[in-house]
């Protein structure tokens, strides 16, 4: 849209409330002027030009004006501050933690009581796993939302969540929650209305009267949760005896995909999003972004319209809640993951490739795939950041590119088979105790679930376990962006096999990796004679050193070739110095010879050991060890290419 239609401007003007001052209104309308043209163009690209789309934009614009005027004053101040400092989240002081409110803290009051601990750990970012109203059992850990405006009553209220956001902010911690916008629970009011036959809400979902279209779509769409149901569709139970209909459900049968081909769905979800933004949520984790658009004859993943819609949601925030950022959850091929990242789309993204390749390196004792990924797939557009993580609440999928592996002489399919066997302890000598997730004998696909400690060998009693846990985190803490800890992992929590017996968890083996608050391990965190104490102490040391190492901010990274496949090495440049990270994924010490280091100054500051080391005799990295070495570049002409 090059010139804004009068209807849109009229809708904005009509939404002005008497209490809004001229100065406030000017702030808002300046943002409208800056971003609404883009929003209009995006909607036209998705929904086509014409009066219907203009009408949608006008309705949306009025909604944005209303929402902005309802935005609390302190959040509007935050909007201004973040607009003035748009890369605030890329500092090396940022550190994330993620937890399930009920499992970790009981309820929101319990989360509040943990704030002193979050500060002890150095958290500046707290992701509360989905905590909105969801069916008791069929909730997929909260990813089947029945109401985006109500907190699950067993953990608290929306007012408590807003208060918590305030309190966290006062302690320097931003609040992250999920926007599960690809689907709703089949108990959401929209789904109930659709089931009851209300045509407006039937059009919110992809419902078909028979198998003709479902069969056609399923010819090319991937099966995501084959343990739950084959294909992408499930029958809608019909208590009234009407002919059976089929609804799109990518994940569980009780998670119905929304129909974004209907612009009313976009507008409805934008309203839910802004409601959450106005509660004080700082970052929205955009769940399952790859799946939001479907097109016959395609894989129905990562289609161009998925990006346009995310950009449109982004524009909505720029106008009505500019403090809010998006984190993309695209656990797909690395070529696709990167497509979601941009200041106009998602400013943050999980880094599933790095996560998977850390585990790949530890199993194979070969760091080349990880090194190659850092070399060619780590760069990001300006103003964006990776969220690095060792593991999440989900499974580990081996998402590396087959062609990358082939270049290193690694057969991708065979390597994935090896990793799946290794991580479920079906490989001789494996240290790992993971469990298979969505094991699909038909396609040979499988993913792995488990806690960091169990996957790294602590459960099996492997002597290298603690070092491996520290090593994995030391990589994530030094490659840039926002590292995210799965809380409990920092004290070495093990798999919880009993979680599978809890109601609603059924066959979903991911619950093994989502233990409850490990009180005993936390109680030992200051005792270095325990595993929990050793892990916690060393991770805390890494976090503290990172905070005072500005080279580790941002995303600039240049790999460093050690000519040793067991070593992953990279340089993080600062203005007059660089930090060279060398990580050893092998079970024995590895040496980098003096010639390889000859381009660097004669000595380096060993940031983790707190002393100075000479590089002229080469350097030895202990088994599963990691070095963070700072060298001066003032006279040496900058980082090595
Ligand atoms: C995301 C979540 C996962 C959930 C799925 C469906 O992938 O991380 O836990 O099952 O979306 O919402």
pTM: 0.96
* Phi/psi at 602 (5° precision): -65, -25
Residue nearest to atom 9 of ligand 1 (CA): 394
CB neighbours of residue 580 within 10 Å: 25
* Pair (119, 169) in one structural domain: yes
pLDDT at residue 635, rounded to an integer: 67
* Pair (358, 379) in one structural domain: yes
pLDDT at residue 442, rounded to an integer: 77
Q: What is the pLDDT of residues 278-330, one digit of tens each?
A: 999 999 999 999 999 999 999 999 999 999 999 999 999 999 999 999 999 99
Residue 251 beta carbon below 6 angstroms from any ligand 1 atom: yes
Spatial separation of the C-alpha atoms in residues 167 and 591, rounded to whole Å: 48
Tell me, in angstroms, the distance from the centre of ligand 1 to residue 125's CA. Answer: 20
Spatial separation of the C-alpha atoms in residues 564 and 522, rounded to whole Å: 38
Question: Which ligand 1 atom is nearest residue 180's CA?
Answer: 12
Q: What is the pLDDT of residues 203-261, one digit of tens each?
A: 999 999 999 999 999 999 999 998 889 999 999 977 666 678 999 999 999 999 999 99
Interhelix angle for 263-277 vs 22-47, to 10°? 150
Spatial separation of the C-alpha atoms in residues 307 and 329, rounded to whole Å: 13
Percent of the chain as helix, strand, coil, to the nearest 5: 40, 15, 40
Residue 79 beta carbon below 6 angstroms from any ligand 1 atom: no
The tally of domains found in the chain comes to: 4
* Pair (94, 174) in one structural domain: yes
Q: What is the pLDDT of residues 509-541, one digit of tens each?
A: 999 999 999 999 999 999 999 999 999 999 999
* Pair (371, 483) in one structural domain: yes
Question: Which ligand 1 atom is nearest residue 225's CA?
Answer: 10
Q: What is the pLDDT of residues 184-205, one digit of tens each?
A: 999 999 999 999 999 999 999 9
Residue 143 beta carbon below 6 angstroms from any ligand 1 atom: yes
- Out of 550, 585, 605, a domain closes at 550
Is residue 540 in some structural domain? yes
Spatial separation of the C-alpha atoms in residues 346 and 277, rounded to whole Å: 15
Question: Which ligand 1 atom is nearest residue 183's CA?
Answer: 12
* Phi/psi at 72 (5° precision): -55, 150
* Pair (585, 600) in one structural domain: yes
Report the candidate in 600, 510, 605 with the shortest Cα–Cα distance to residue 140: 510
Tell me, in angstroms, the distance from the centre of ligand 1 to residue 361's CA. Answer: 26
Q: 249 in helix, strand or coil? A: coil
* Pair (606, 577) in one structural domain: yes
H/E segment holding residue 569? strand 567-573
Q: 257 in helix, strand or coil? A: strand
Range of 28's domain? 6-84
Question: Which residues are paired to 179 by β-bridges?
Answer: 286
Q: Write down how long the chain is.
A: 641
* Pair (475, 583) in one structural domain: no
Is residue 271 in some structural domain? no
Structure tokens given for 215 = 């069969």
Question: Which ligand 1 atom is nearest residue 250's CA?
Answer: 6
H/E segment holding residue 326? strand 325-328
pLDDT at residue 1, rounded to an integer: 62
Structure tokens given for 415 = 């390597």
> Per-residue pLDDT for 636 more than 60?
no
Which positions are annotated as active-site residues? 287, 329
Tell me, in angstroms, the distance from the centre of ligand 1 to residue 73's CA. Answer: 33
Spatial separation of the C-alpha atoms in residues 534 and 466, rounded to whole Å: 7
* Pair (253, 240) in one structural domain: yes
* Phi/psi at 300 (5° precision): 60, 35
For β-strands 96-99 and 125-128, DSSP reports them as parallel
Give the percent of the chain with pLDDT over 70: 98
- Out of 550, 570, 603, a domain closes at 550
* Pair (516, 606) in one structural domain: no
The CATH code of the domain that includes 18 is 1.10.1740
Using alpha carbons only, what angle is made at residue 150 by residues 148 and 154, rounded to the nearest 5 degrees? 125
Report the candidate in 2, 35, 71 with the shortest Cα–Cα distance to residue 276: 71
The CATH code of the domain that includes 579 is 2.60.40.1180
* Pair (493, 608) in one structural domain: no
Give start and end residues of each alpha helix (H) in 333-381: 334-337, 352-364, 368-376
Confidence of residue 443 (pLDDT cuts 50, 70, 90): confident
Q: What is the mean pLDDT of residues 171-176?
A: 98
* Pair (294, 389) in one structural domain: yes
Q: 465 in helix, strand or coil? A: helix
The CATH code of the domain that includes 245 is 3.90.400.10
Residue 511 beta carbon below 6 angstroms from any ligand 1 atom: no
Tell me, in angstroms, the distance from the centre of ligand 1 to residue 209's CA. Answer: 27
Residue nearest to atom 12 of ligand 1 (CA): 143
> Per-residue pLDDT for 638 more than 80?
no
* Pair (195, 325) in one structural domain: no
Structure tokens given for 369 = 């795939």
Residue 290 beta carbon below 6 angstroms from any ligand 1 atom: no
SS (H, E, C) 215-232: HHHHCCCCCCCCCCCCCC
- Out of 31, 53, 84, a domain closes at 84
């Amino acid at each position: 849209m090059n010139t804004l239609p009068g209807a849109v401007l009229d809708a904005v003007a009509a939404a002005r409330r008497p209490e809004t001052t001229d100065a406030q209104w000017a702030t808002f309308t300046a943002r409208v002027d800056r971003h609404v043209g883009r929003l209009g163009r995006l909607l036209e690209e998705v929904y086509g030009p014409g009066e219907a789309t203009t009408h949608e934009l006008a309705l949306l614009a009025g909604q944005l004006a209303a929402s902005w005027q309802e935005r609390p004053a302190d959040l509007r101040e935050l909007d201004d501050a973040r607009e003035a400092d748009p890369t605030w989240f890329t500092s090396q002081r940022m550190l994330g933690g993620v937890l399930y409110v009920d499992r970790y803290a009981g309820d929101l009051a319990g989360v509040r009581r943990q704030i002193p601990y979050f500060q002890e750990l150095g958290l500046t970012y707290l992701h509360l796993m989905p905590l909105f109203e969801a069916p008791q059992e069929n909730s997929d850990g909260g990813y089947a939302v029945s109401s985006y405006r109500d907190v699950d009553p067993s953990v608290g209220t929306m007012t408590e969540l807003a208060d918590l956001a305030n309190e966290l902010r006062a302690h320097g911690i931003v609040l992250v929650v999920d926007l599960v916008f690809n689907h709703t629970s089949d108990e959401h009011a929209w789904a109930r209305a659709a089931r009851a036959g209300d045509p407006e809400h039937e059009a919110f979902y992809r419902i078909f009267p028979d198998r003709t279209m479902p069969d056609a779509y399923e010819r090319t769409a991937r099966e995501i949760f084959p343990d739950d149901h084959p294909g992408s569709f499930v029958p809608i139970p019909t208590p009234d005896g009407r002919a059976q209909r089929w609804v799109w459900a990518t994940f569980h049968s009780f998670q119905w995909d929304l129909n974004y081909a209907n612009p009313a769905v976009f507008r409805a979800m934008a309203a839910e999003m802004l409601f959450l933004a106005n509660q004080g949520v700082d970052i929205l984790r955009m769940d399952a972004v790859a799946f939001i658009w479907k097109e016959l004859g395609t894989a129905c993943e990562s289609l161009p319209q998925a990006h346009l819609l995310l950009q449109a949601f982004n524009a909505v925030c720029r106008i009505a809640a500019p403090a809010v950022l998006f984190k993309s959850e695209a656990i797909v091929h690395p070529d696709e993951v990167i497509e979601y990242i941009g200041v106009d789309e998602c400013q943050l993204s999980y880094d599933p490739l790095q996560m998977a390749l850390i585990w790949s390196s530890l199993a194979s004792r070969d760091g080349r795939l990880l090194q190659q990924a850092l070399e060619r797939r780590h760069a990001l557009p300006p103003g964006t950041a990776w969220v690095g993580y060792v593991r999440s609440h989900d499974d580990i999928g081996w998402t590396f590119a087959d062609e990358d592996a082939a270049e290193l002489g690694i057969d991708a399919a065979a390597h994935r088979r090896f990793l799946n066997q290794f991580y479920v302890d079906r490989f001789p000598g494996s240290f790992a105790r993971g469990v298979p997730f969505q094991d699909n004998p038909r396609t040979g696909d499988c993913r792995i679930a488990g806690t960091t400690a169990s996957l790294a060998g602590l459960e099996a009693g492997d002597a290298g376990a603690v070092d491996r846990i520290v090593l994995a985190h030391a990589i994530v803490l030094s490659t840039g962006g926002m590292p995210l800890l799965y809380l409990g992992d920092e004290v070495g929590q093990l798999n919880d096999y009993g979680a599978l017996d809890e109601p609603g968890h059924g066959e979903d083996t991911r619950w093994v990796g989502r233990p409850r608050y490990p009180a005993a391990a936390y109680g030992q965190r200051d005792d270095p004679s325990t595993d929990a104490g050793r892990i916690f102490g060393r991770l805390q040391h890494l976090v503290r050193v990172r905070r005072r190492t500005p080279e580790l901010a941002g995303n600039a990274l240049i790999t460093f070739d050690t000519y040793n496949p067991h070593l992953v090495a990279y340089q993080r440049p600062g203005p007059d110095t660089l930090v060279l990270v060398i990580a050893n994924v092998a079970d024995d010490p590895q040496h980098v010879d003096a010639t390889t280091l000859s381009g660097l100054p004669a000595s380096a500051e060993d940031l983790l050991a707190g002393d100075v080391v000479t590089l002229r005799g080469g350097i030895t990295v202990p088994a599963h060890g990691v070095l963070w070495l700072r060298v001066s570049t003032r006279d040496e002409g900058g980082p090595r290419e």
